[in-house]
């Protein structure tokens, strides 16, 4: 216990001096693995959802430290478990540590030099989800905070397949990361869970609809039901309109590049109809 207290005191004393070493993770930034991570700030994507598996990166901002013999310790392994005992080298200035959110609570990550002195730290929290939200994947990809495509009661075209991003919450607090999501459905629909390749922050639910009718799916994590979602399967006569929604870069350079265009079908009440396949003529 005395050793633990001394370590925590060391963290407190280093609170204003750890900016040389940047802590980030793969939850929202898997694609940054080949880029200097310091330019993206010093921030872990906490609180994590229970069961999240991700990689934490520790980078020397000044790029003048030799990490040979350095280690990383989790102060409470009941919260974050090590998937590998030792950190691995991404490059000569960056260490990577694979972790799993194994229990609810808070903990610290400590960066220790070869003599065992704490040189940097970061705090993390894990929470148990109490509910989930579904967002239409294509709409969510537009990254418009005012139009995120939440679908508490999806309407699907019979015979179609639609993808939905799953967002976990503890009450109203948004949790970060993907987890071991399980799904059960009524007979006329089928659902498959996939994990995003772009970041460790996305569970994607692919739902395929059969004949028209009112169906349902249930989302489960750790044997606990988070959400029951009713799914209204409709025929093609329900499609009354199609909108093209686009996103383009804000800067002039971005605006001259690629645009993301999403086709969205609606019924006559302007309720979205998902799972509609579109043919594109460019």
pLDDT in tens, the chain (282 residues): 433 433 333 333 333 334 588 898 888 765 454 455 545 555 788 899 999 999 999 988 888 888 888 999 999 999 999 998 888 888 888 899 999 999 999 999 999 999 999 999 999 999 999 999 999 988 877 777 667 788 999 999 999 999 999 999 999 999 999 999 999 999 999 999 988 766 667 899 999 999 999 999 999 998 889 999 999 999 999 999 999 988 655 555 555 666 788 899 999 999 999 999 988 887
The predicted pLDDT at position 238 comes to 96
Give every CB contact of residue 276 below 8 A, 6+ residues apart in sequence.
Answer: 157, 160, 239, 242, 263, 265
How far apart (Å, rounded) are the C-alpha atoms in residues 209 and 162? 9
CA nearest to 164, candidates 132, 135, 201: 135
Tally of CB atoms within 10 A around 80: 27
CA nearest to 118, candidates 6, 1, 2: 6
CB of 22 closer than 8 Å to CB of 61:
yes
The predicted pLDDT at position 65 comes to 82
Token couple for 225: 């039901």
Q: Which residues pair with 89 in a beta bridge?
A: 95
């Amino acid at each position: 216990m005395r050793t633990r207290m001394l370590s925590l005191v060391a963290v407190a004393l280093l609170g204003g001096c750890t900016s040389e070493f940047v802590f980030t993770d793969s939850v929202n930034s898997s694609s940054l693995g080949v880029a200097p991570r310091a330019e993206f700030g010093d921030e872990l994507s906490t609180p994590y959802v229970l069961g999240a598996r991700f990689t934490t990166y520790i980078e020397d901002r000044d790029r003048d430290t030799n990490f040979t013999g350095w280690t990383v310790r989790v102060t409470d392994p009941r919260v974050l478990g090590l998937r590998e005992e030792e950190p691995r080298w991404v490059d000569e200035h960056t260490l990577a540590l694979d972790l799993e959110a194994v229990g609810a609570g808070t903990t610290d990550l400590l960066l220790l030099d070869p003599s065992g002195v704490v040189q940097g730290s970061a705090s993390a929290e894990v929470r148990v989800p109490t509910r989930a939200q579904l967002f239409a994947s294509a709409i969510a990809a537009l990254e418009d905070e005012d139009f995120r495509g939440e679908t508490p009661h999806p309407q699907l075209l019979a015979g179609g397949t639609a993808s939905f991003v799953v967002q976990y919450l503890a009450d109203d607090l948004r949790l970060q990361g993907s987890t071991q999501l399980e799904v059960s459905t009524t007979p006329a629909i089928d659902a498959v869970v996939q994990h995003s390749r772009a970041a460790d922050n996305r569970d994607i639910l692919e739902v395929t609809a059969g004949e028209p009718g009112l169906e349902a799916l249930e989302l489960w994590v750790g044997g606990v039901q988070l959400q029951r979602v009713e799914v209204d399967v409709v025929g093609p006569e329900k499609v009354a309109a199609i909108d093209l929604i686009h996103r383009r870069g804000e800067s002039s350079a971005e605006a001259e590049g690629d645009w993301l265009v999403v086709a969205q079908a609606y019924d006559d009440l302007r309720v979205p109809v998902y799972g509609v396949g579109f043919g594109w003529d460019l």
